[in-house]
Chain A
Amino acid sequence: MADRLLLVEDDPRIRAALVLGLTDEGYGVVEAGSGESALRLLDDDGAFDVVLLDLMLPGMDGFSVCRTVRSRGDLPIIMITARSGSEDVVRGLEAGADDYVTKPVVASELAARIRALLRRARPGRPESTLIRAGDVEIHPDRGIATRNGEDVHLTLTELRLLTELAQAAGNVVTREQLLERVWGYDYFGDTRLLDVHVRRLRRKVEDDPSDPTLVLTVRGVGYRVAG
């Protein structure tokens, strides 16, 4: 069955163009013209694989929609921002988005991002062995992480990020490597994507996120897990 996308975009022309392009790429696309109608659609029919979310929406803005969706679960979100260099990107990522594209959006590029994101959600070969990082245990077979026996609610991207770091077993993983392995970017990924996700991850697995003891920064190079 085709992956189902929820496209939240207020400009009807852009919406129509993306529906055309993404449908042609083989996705099932459901449209929403506002944040409110998007949340209604998610309530009525939860069977979406990815949400494509324009940040500039009339009424309830994209950031609020993003936070609401995230509070309900780990449904992957790609945000559509007006400008790549703006603060919106960081704000959107902080609100829980997994990745972003900038306008003007080209359907084929958006499709590539969606594919990378869905690969993350369904790893090709399930690794059944338990991976340990400090007091956090990752269960790749179940797609969850636990800390002291309790479930840590990680999004798929956060889980993938932690897995990559944990598999390096204390060695440094460079920012470029992480961007490539987690998001599928080549050298030119936006490192803010990584930095914000690390911040989000730390909030969930560290006792004191401002003084991390598990996910450590290696200045100017990348990250590693303690151990």
Chain B
Amino acid sequence: MTVAWPVRLRRVPVRTRIVAAFVLGSVAVPSLVALATWNLTTGYMLQQRQDSVVRQAAVNARLVDASLAQNSAGLGDLLTGLASSPEAAAFVREQDGWYSSGTASDGIGTDDVPAGLLAAVERGDTARQRVRVGGIPVVMVATPLPTSGVPFVEVFPLRDLDRTFRFISLLLLGGVLASGVLGGVLGRWASRRALRPLTELTAAAARVAHGDLDTRLPVRADPDLGPIAAAFNDTTADLQARVERDSRFASDVSHELRSPVTTMAAAVEVLARRQDEMSPTARHAIDLLDGDLRRFRRLVEDLLEISRVDQGASRLSAEPFDLGELAAAVVARSHPGLRIEDGCPCRVMADRRRLEQVVANLVDNADRHGRGLVRIAVRRQGPCVRLEVDDAGPGVPVADRHRVFERFARVSDRDRHVDETGTGLGLALVAQHVRLHGGRVEVTDRPGGGARFAVELPVGEDR
């Protein structure tokens, strides 16, 4: 069923909406029940009480009537006796005014008797009315005395009944509140449980997006949730198969390229060794061939290296060594004289062959795309060893800082005036090797201009 939520509500998270619905439901129903209970209970109790005081007043009226008929002098005492509690009172009107149960201190006087009540007595009716006198709920019963017909008013306090009502109301209100809280808790639990597959799906999708194509969701028996997990798993498996097919293709192609490369390299070497016997044109041709063949060979080697990791056929052969020494050795090959800033010993537990490639490719990148290597530094940083390679080029625009590590990435500005002898895989291999070691690589601006490529590697356990 599709529920068309109002636009504003759609912005409220599903979880909040579920909780709200639970709270609403668990408050509304008990509220109705409580309201009905309240009305029935209080109505009934009040009715009972009023009936009983009217009966009581009738009995008392007859007593007062008899007392008046005997013209007894004890009327005052009788009235006082009728008012059993301090809040009760009784009044009789004689020719010369009101007789009262007396004590003025109780606060209830004849002034408090509503005029309507007296009017009803004048008409010969018995009437009752609930009023508050000095904050105290009372019921007043007014009746004409049977013989004389003079008004007799009796006041009955309702304090105990009021207290009972208050208690009942608190009880009902508390029940409704408790039910609401319970509903909220239940709603939270239910929403979390209901949304858990979605949460898992989100996390799994994020892992896939980060390149972990082995991610699968547990398939549940639930007919509502099972298909989601199954569909996700199928999609990821398809994606993985396609990626593997592609990388296998790249790997197969580069394998196939190895024998022509070997043939060409051997042939060109033989020719290059005889350059002295050649005409200048032929020499030039051999030079061109030799240069491109070298690049082609590097490309095939890089492709083999990169597709190997794609196919999961790669193992780190970790050994302990000093990254500073390795970097110095790499730099010495291409930049004799450049001193490496070495804040070490910076021992790492890593694959030497791969890290040599990392450093060599970063140096090569600085020379090729960054107008030359200007600084290389290795130092310990917390649990990591950090390698920084700075160049003097235009830097890498922020928008391209991820793309620059992609295979065959061409970042427009950087590559406008560079020689095209790179393989386009250098930085991708750097990123791949570093990732394989559980480290990270980033490019930032070098203070003072240029790009700074930084690699951080966990030191690793020394065996």
Interface residues of A (CB under 8 A from B): 11, 13-14, 16-18, 20-21, 24, 82-87, 103-108, 186-188, 190-192, 219-220
Contacts of B319 in A (CB 8 A): 191, 220
Query: Is there a chain A Cβ closer than 8 Å to B190's Cβ?
Result: no
Contact for B329 among A86, A87, A107, A186, CB less than 8 A: A186
Q: How far is the CB of B53 from chain A (nearest CB, A)?
A: 102
Cα separation A87 to B321 with both chains bound (whole Å): 21
Tell me if A17 and B308 are in contact (CB < 8 A): no
Contact for B266 among A84, A106, A190, A219, CB less than 8 A: A106
**Scoring B residues 297 to 338 as 1 if CB is less than 8 Å from chain A, else 0, what string do you get?**
100110011001000011101011100011001000000000
Query: Is there a chain A Cβ closer than 8 Å to B347's Cβ?
Result: yes
- Given A13-B259, A103-B262, A104-B297, A20 and B270 touching (CB < 8 A)? yes
- Given A16-B263, A24-B270, A85 and B314 touching (CB < 8 A)? yes
Query: Is there a chain A Cβ closer than 8 Å to B246's Cβ?
Result: no
**Scoring B residues 435 to 463 as 1 if CB is less than 8 Å from chain A, else 0, what string do you get?**
00000000000000000000000000011
Contacts of B371 in A (CB 8 A): none
Contact for A220 among B257, B270, B356, B462, CB less than 8 A: B462
Interface residues of B, count at CB 8 A: 39
- Given A20-B266, A20-B267, A106-B297, A187 and B329 touching (CB < 8 A)? yes
Tell me if B313 and A86 are in contact (CB < 8 A): yes
Tell me if A219 and B262 are in contact (CB < 8 A): no
Tell me if A14 and B329 are in contact (CB < 8 A): no
Tell me if A104 and B308 are in contact (CB < 8 A): no
With contacts A14-B262, A85-B308, A191-B352 known, what are 16 further pairs, Cβ within 8 A?
A17-B259, A17-B262, A17-B264, A17-B265, A24-B270, A24-B273, A83-B304, A85-B314, A85-B354, A103-B262, A104-B300, A105-B262, A106-B265, A186-B329, A192-B317, A219-B463
Contacts of A188 in B (CB 8 A): 329, 353, 356
Q: How far is the CB of A92 from chain B (nearest CB, A)?
A: 14
Cα separation A87 to B347 with both chains bound (whole Å): 25
Contacts of A103 in B (CB 8 A): 258, 262
Cα separation A106 to B265 with both chains bound (whole Å): 6
Tell me if A107 and B265 are in contact (CB < 8 A): yes
Across the two chains, which residue of chain A brings its CB closest to B305? A85
Tell me if B266 and A21 are in contact (CB < 8 A): yes
Q: How far is the CB of A24 from chain B (nearest CB, A)?
A: 5
Contacts of B320 in A (CB 8 A): 219-220
Cα separation A105 to B263 with both chains bound (whole Å): 9
Contacts of A107 in B (CB 8 A): 265-266, 269
Cα separation A17 to B267 with both chains bound (whole Å): 7
| 25 residue pairs A–B, Cβ–Cβ below 8 Å | A11-B259, A13-B263, A14-B263, A17-B262, A17-B263, A20-B267, A21-B266, A21-B267, A21-B270, A83-B304, A85-B308, A85-B317, A85-B351, A85-B354, A87-B315, A104-B262, A106-B262, A106-B297, A107-B269, A187-B326, A188-B329, A188-B356, A190-B353, A219-B320, A219-B462
- Given A192-B317, A220-B320, A220-B347, A104 and B267 touching (CB < 8 A)? no
Cα separation A105 to B261 with both chains bound (whole Å): 8
Cα separation A86 to B255 with both chains bound (whole Å): 15
The winner among B266, B308, B329, B351 for most chain A CB atoms within 10 A is B266
Contacts of B325 in A (CB 8 A): 187
Query: Is there a chain A Cβ closer than 8 Å to B13's Cβ?
Result: no
Cα separation A96 to B463 with both chains bound (whole Å): 26
Query: Is there a chain A Cβ closer than 8 Å to B260's Cβ?
Result: yes
Contacts of A21 in B (CB 8 A): 265-267, 269-270
Across the two chains, which residue of chain A brings its CB closest to B296? A104
Q: How far is the CB of B121 from chain A (nearest CB, A)?
A: 113
Tell me if B265 and A84 are in contact (CB < 8 A): no
Tell me if B266 and A17 are in contact (CB < 8 A): yes
Q: How far is the CB of A15 from chain B (nearest CB, A)?
A: 9
Contacts of A16 in B (CB 8 A): 263
Cα separation A87 to B316 with both chains bound (whole Å): 11
Contact for B353 among A13, A20, A84, A220, CB less than 8 A: A84
Cα separation A106 to B260 with both chains bound (whole Å): 11
Contacts of A190 in B (CB 8 A): 352-353
Give chain B interface residues in 269-295, CB to chain A under 8 Å: 269-270, 273
Across the two chains, which residue of chain B brings its CB closest to A19? B266
Q: How far is the CB of B289 from chain A (nearest CB, A)?
A: 14
Q: How far is the CB of A117 from chain B (nearest CB, A)?
A: 20
Cα separation A13 to B264 with both chains bound (whole Å): 10
Contacts of A18 in B (CB 8 A): 262, 266
Tell me if B261 and A104 are in contact (CB < 8 A): yes
Contacts of A87 in B (CB 8 A): 315
Cα separation A108 to B290 with both chains bound (whole Å): 13
Contacts of A11 in B (CB 8 A): 259
- Across chains A and B, which 9 residue pairs bring their CB atoms closest together, nearest first? A21-B266, A187-B329, A220-B320, A17-B266, A17-B263, A104-B261, A104-B258, A107-B266, A24-B270
Contacts of A82 in B (CB 8 A): 255
Contacts of B356 in A (CB 8 A): 188
Q: How far is the CB of B308 from chain A (nearest CB, A)?
A: 6
Contacts of B267 in A (CB 8 A): 17, 20-21
Across the two chains, which residue of chain B brings its CB closest to A89? B317
Q: How far is the CB of A214 from chain B (nearest CB, A)?
A: 21
Across the two chains, which residue of chain A brings its CB closest to B271? A24
Contacts of A83 in B (CB 8 A): 304, 308
Cα separation A142 to B314 with both chains bound (whole Å): 43
